[in-house]
């Protein structure tokens, strides 16, 4: 059996590209060299390039996502392992392009990526499946902001966040009415649409869900204990939080979280890695968001959960590649 050519595609256009590069390196190191020829492809705003084993750059041909090697031979990839966090790899843009040129890739399809990147729409769809979330107000840039009405409806404290942004960028916790306008300005720097949500006073948990060998499984439930006010970018990526796996919750609550996390994953028609964030209040999980390309560096939650579950990184990544290879063009 000839080895398949697999590109680990990392980078991205957002501030998360540094995390993506670490995630990509772990996947690149972990894929089975007995089964695959593994390559690195970096996608940045100003250039898309292939990185050879000597770290020499070669441009990616965007017409068919191929690269021309030193012998003038064109290398086409049998599958792309998408590990870009944020745009364009987590919001459907890259998936739509790959679909158009017939390139196979890991993870969920264009529609699921675009939907889950939009917090408002995701929560609206999941509410139809009985999955609760915080009360919220949705605003577009330029719309009038009635501070008194918003505070009366949601109460204080409350959260202001970009509707479409990964990794807790642009999120503020507002404790005083006078802070609301400034918080919306911070969120609007990340996106033209924002959500203002009621504060859910409970334990935050992060739940890894994947489809592994044909079955939807919960890898683990991780309790998030941020040193900051909430699980912001610093807490998520710079160590300013304690992450406890498994979470310190009773069996009944564990089962409820697992059931709702699986229901959310299956209801959205998901595939590949996912990490969903919930707040537990009185034993009930309230959905915050779903990430379809969560961080995958050695310190990230999903690899930690997989280790405890008993699935090696090699098997976890190999499972994704095999599913991608079986996709129809």
What are the residue numbers of the active site? 16, 167, 300
Q: What is the DSSP letter of 73?
A: P
Q: φ and ψ at 184, to 5 degrees? A: -65, -35
Which pair of structure tokens corresponds to residue 270? 């998901």
Q: How far apart are CA 329 and CA 325, in angstroms?
A: 10
Q: What is the DSSP letter of 56?
A: -
Measure CA 48 to chain center: 21
**DSSP H or E segment with residue 274:** strand 274-281
**DSSP H or E segment with residue 304:** helix 301-309
Q: Taking Cα atoms as reference points, which of 166, 114, 119 lies closest to residue 139?
A: 119
Q: Are 115 and 121 in contact (CB under 8 A)?
A: yes
Binding-site residues for Mg(2+) sit at 289, 291
Q: What is the DSSP letter of 231?
A: S
Burial degree of 86 (CB within 10 A; 0-12, 13-18, 19+): buried
Instruction: Decide the pairing of beta strands 36-43 and 4-11.
Output: parallel
Binding-site residues sit at 289, 291
């Amino acid at each position: 059996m000839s080895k398949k050519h697999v590109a680990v595609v990392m980078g991205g256009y957002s501030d998360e590209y540094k995390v993506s590069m670490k995630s990509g390196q772990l996947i690149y190191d972990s894929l089975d060299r007995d089964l695959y020829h593994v390559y690195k492809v970096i996608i940045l705003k100003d250039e898309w390039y292939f990185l050879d084993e000597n770290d020499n750059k070669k441009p990616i041909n965007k017409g068919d996502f191929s690269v021309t090697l030193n012998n003038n031979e064109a290398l086409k990839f049998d599958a792309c392992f998408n590990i870009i966090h944020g745009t364009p790899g987590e919001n459907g843009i890259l998936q739509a392009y790959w679909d158009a040129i017939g390139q196979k890739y890991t993870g969920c399809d264009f529609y699921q990526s675009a939907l889950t990147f939009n917090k408002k729409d995701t929560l609206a769809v999941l509410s139809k499946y009985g999955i609760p979330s915080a009360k919220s107000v949705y605003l577009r840039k330029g719309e009038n902001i009635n501070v008194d009405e918003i505070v009366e409806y949601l109460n204080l404290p409350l959260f202001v966040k970009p509707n479409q942004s990964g990794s807790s960028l642009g999120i503020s916790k507002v404790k005083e009415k006078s802070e609301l306008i400034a918080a919306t300005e911070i969120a609007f720097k990340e996106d033209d649409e924002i959500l203002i949500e009621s504060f859910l006073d409970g334990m935050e948990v992060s739940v890894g869900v994947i489809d592994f060998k044909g079955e939807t499984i919960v890898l683990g439930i991780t309790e998030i204990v941020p040193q900051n006010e909430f699980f912001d970018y610093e807490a998520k990526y710079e160590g300013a939080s304690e992450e406890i796996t498994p979470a310190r919750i009773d069996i009944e609550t564990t089962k409820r979280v697992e059931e709702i996390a699986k229901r959310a994953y299956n209801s959205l028609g998901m595939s590949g890695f996912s990490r969903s964030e919930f707040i537990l209040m009185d034993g009930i999980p309230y959905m915050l968001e779903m990430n379809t390309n969560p961080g995958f560096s050695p310190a990230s939650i999903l690899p930690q959960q997989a280790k405890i579950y008993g699935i090696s990184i090699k098997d976890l990544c190999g499972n994704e590649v095999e599913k991608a290879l079986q996709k129809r063009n």
